[in-house]
Structures are given as C-alpha cells and as structure tokens.
Amino acid sequence: MITLKRISSINLILSIITFIREIKKESNVGRQFTIRGWVHRLRKQKEKSFILIRDEKGDVVQTVFQSEQVSNITLESSIQVTGILSVDKRAPEGGYELQGKNIEIFNISENFPIGEFQSLDLLLTKRHLAIRTRKLISILKIKSTILKYARLFFDNLAWTEVQCPTIVKGSIEGGSTLFPINYFDEKAYLSQSAQLYLEAYIFSLGPVWTISPSFRAEKSRTVRHLAEFLHLEAEVPWTSMDDLLNIQENLVTFIINNLKKERTDEFVYLNRNISDLNITPPFPRLEYSDVIDDLRKKDFKIEEDGKKRYLHYGDDLNIESERMLTQQYSTPIFVVGYPLSIKPFYVKSDIHDENRSLSADMLAPHGFGEITSGGLREDDLAKLKERIRKEGLDQNTYDWYLDLRRYGSVIHGGFGLGIERFLRWLINSEDIKETVGFPRTMSRISP
C-alpha cells in the first residue's frame, strides 16, 4: 500500500495520509485510515451526515459522521478525516465507506456556486471552479495520459523533442487567423504552427517533434475550433507520404491502446464505450477527388452566397463535409492529394500532377473529422520562392526559411495533430471546449 507521511498543517501532528484509491479493498475493511481532500457532495440528515470526499487524485469515498460533529461543514470545504473502512452497498463509487472518527478542517468553503446540473455558460464562466467536477477531472487526466504516451512513442523511435518560438514574424496558415501582438517596436504574431522551425531542426537533429500551443484567430464559432490549442508536430528528413501516414496511424493507435488500459475508470465515468476505439492500422486512404465525387453522389451540398451547391474539385473540406464523409467509418481515414490551390505555400506538389499536393489529413470517424494535417514540403528553392511570391507573402520574412533550401535541402515532411481535436473524438464530446482546462475562444478569454 502506498502511504504518504506528511505533517498536517493544522496541528503539526505527524499523520499518515492515504490516497482514496489505495483504501477501497476488501482486505482493508476494519482498518483505520486518514484521508484528506474536499467535500465533493454533502447530505446532512438529522443524526448522520454523509460526506463524499474527493482527494487530490480526484477519487472519492463516502464518510459518515454524527451530524453534530460536522454541522458547519459545507461543499468544497477542505478537510482531513480519520475513520474505519466498512462495506455498505449503498455507498457510491464502490460500496465502501469510512466510519468517521475524527475530522480536521483546513478551510470552511463559502457557498460553492457549482452544483450538479449547470448551464455550459456558467461552467465556463466559473471554469476555475468547474475543473473540480469529476467530468472535467476525467477529461484532464485522459489528456495528460495522451501526452505521456505521445512522448513515449517518440522516445521509442529515438526522435528528438525540440522547442520552437511562439512569438513569430510570419504566417503559416494564412493571414486571416493571425493574432497580431506588439513586440517592442515591431509587429509580431502568435504562432499558428511550429512547422517552419521544425523544418530547420531536421538538418542537425534528424526526425524531431514538439508539443506547444498554437494560436488561431478563428472568427467563426464552431465546435472544433479554439483560439489556442495544443499542437503536436513532427518533421522528418528523407521521408515519403507512405512513411508519414504510417507514423501518424501508429502514433494514434499506440496512444489509444495505452489509454484504454490506463484510463479505463475515466472512460467509464464519461460513459465512453471504449470498444468503439478498437482501431488497427492501416487506416483507409481516400483520394481527395474520389471524396468529392462520393459527396456529390450522396447529394451533399454546401451553402454559398445564400445558395446551396454541390462540391467541386478545388473546394476544401469543412466540418459539414467531413461529418458526412466520416459518419460511415468506425476507424480514422486519411484523405490524400488535396488540390495544391487550397494548401499553404510550403506544400509540395506531385510531379505527376502539378495541381495535386502531396498532403494528407487524418479524419476521425463517426463525424468527428480532421485531427491531423501533413505531407511533404516543397524542397526546391526556385519553386518555393515562386509560391511565396504568388501568395503575396513578404519575401524578407521567409528569407531564413528559404535558407533551408539553399544549404543542403532534402526531401522532407511532417504533420500536426491537434490534441484537443483528438481528445474530442476519444471522449465523444460535441464541443471542443470540454477538452481544455481554460478554453480560449472568440468570445472567451477569462478566467
């Protein structure tokens, strides 16, 4: 059993604090334990009061006291309780409860504004308190475990983790979603992606990856766009489209398989049936032009200038078209070969078809849509210069980037995975805001 020896801050008596998850065992019944945490739920009756305590690991256990012992206790008060473990089938979350002997109070909470059923708006406004709800605790733990296994995946491949600046001069994904900032006497932006910097690293470190926030001033309110999101990006020299797709499907599968083992309780709490997450590579690869044909056959239309029309070659896929496309799948798919015209300046074109880009997006199934984007990068100096010129970008800003094609250019590529997009699918959540501790959107910058 893991126990922690700590000094209680109240009376400086050495107490042995046990985590709740360690005590809920048949063999512990009749033994005395001291736990500490916060009052998660409270039911006061005439004689007895039932306190559901949540400890610092987010686990809960019921404790029972004589009501007069705990008359001043309120929801979210911080307390330390000593009691004897007993079994009571009626006790929530496992049927164990502590028969309270002693209670110490760290702080009596004021009237806690969050109850069991609250509007999403209140939960967002009081987010600093709402992150104490079991739902958010479960989601945040799953997120943390995604990052743990992403790191392990790249570590197993011996790829180097690097860091890139988040204050930058240039745009990667186009000017419309840039956040400008005042940088001393210059204008700068918050980074939309670390990609250009990752490309610089491959010449000295080979395959590299990073995890950092990316910023997009998304003007539309959607259920899958945040203004700040966590971006896992990787870049590899001497690679091919096939290699890049293999890496992505292996990464996603590796993370999911480990999550299913390590976060079972959290998925159960979230009512997420993890057998829906049985996926095995290779994921289907669909050619963009076939996808457009398929969506036309399905009678899918988009709205433009107040009118409905069919998709044609050259339209980007969006939330609605991806939802329609992925509805029929229970495994992620790749869409490959998007038209060059809808891709940023750095995307490499297919030598067999100049209009086709060597790019791929991974779309999550059951309507969730894009979770990764990637492909090969244009490695030819003259072509890249021309693309920068055609898109009307400032040559000076990208001169350092062009150096990467001047000094030992090699074929290379990479991808970016949106962690919250991935998590949104994994927990089957409609709204991406649920996947972030403190979401940043067009209408929300506080708390």
Under 8 Å between Cβ of 159 and 234: yes
C-alpha span between 257 and 264 (Å, rounded): 11
Query: What minimum distance in Å lies between the beta carbon of 370 and ligand ATP?
Result: 5
- For residue 191, which of 223, 231, 151, 143 has the smallest C-alpha distance? 231
248 binds Mg ion (CB under 5 A): no
Stretch that binds ligand ATP, among 2-10, 75-83, 377-385, 414-422 (CB under 6 A): 414-422
266 binds ligand ATP (CB under 6 A): no
Applying CB under 5 A, the site for Mg ion has a residue count of: 1
Q: Which of 54, 127, 348, 421 binds ligand ATP (CB under 6 A)?
A: 421
Taking CB atoms within 8 Å and a gap of at least 24, the contacts of 182-191 are 190/166, 190/215, 191/164, 191/165, 191/166, 191/167, 191/215
373 binds ligand ATP (CB under 6 A): yes
377 binds ligand ATP (CB under 6 A): no
Q: Which is nearer to Mg ion, 398 or 415 (CB)?
A: 415
Under 8 Å between Cβ of 225 and 432: yes
Query: What minimum distance in Å lies between the beta carbon of 369 and ligand ATP?
Result: 7
Site for ligand ATP in 183-242 (CB under 6 A): 216, 218, 225-226, 229, 231
Q: Which of 363, 416, 423, 429 binds ligand ATP (CB under 6 A)?
A: 416
Between the two ends of the chain, the Cα-to-Cα distance in Å is 38
Helices (H) and strands (E) in the chain, counts: 12, 22
Under 8 Å between Cβ of 337 and 357: yes
177 binds Mg ion (CB under 5 A): no
Under 8 Å between Cβ of 45 and 110: no
Q: Which amino acid is at 97?
A: E
Segments in 12-133 forming alpha helices (H)? 20-23, 120-125, 127-130
370 binds ligand ATP (CB under 6 A): yes
Query: What minimum distance in Å lies between the beta carbon of 233 and ligand ATP?
Result: 8
Q: Which is nearer to ligand ATP, 153 or 368 (CB)?
A: 368
373 binds Mg ion (CB under 5 A): yes
Query: What minimum distance in Å lies between the beta carbon of 179 and Mg ion?
Result: 18
> Which residues contact Mg ion by CB under 5 A?
373
> Which residues contact ligand ATP by CB under 6 A?
173, 216, 218, 225-226, 229, 231, 370-373, 416, 418, 420-421
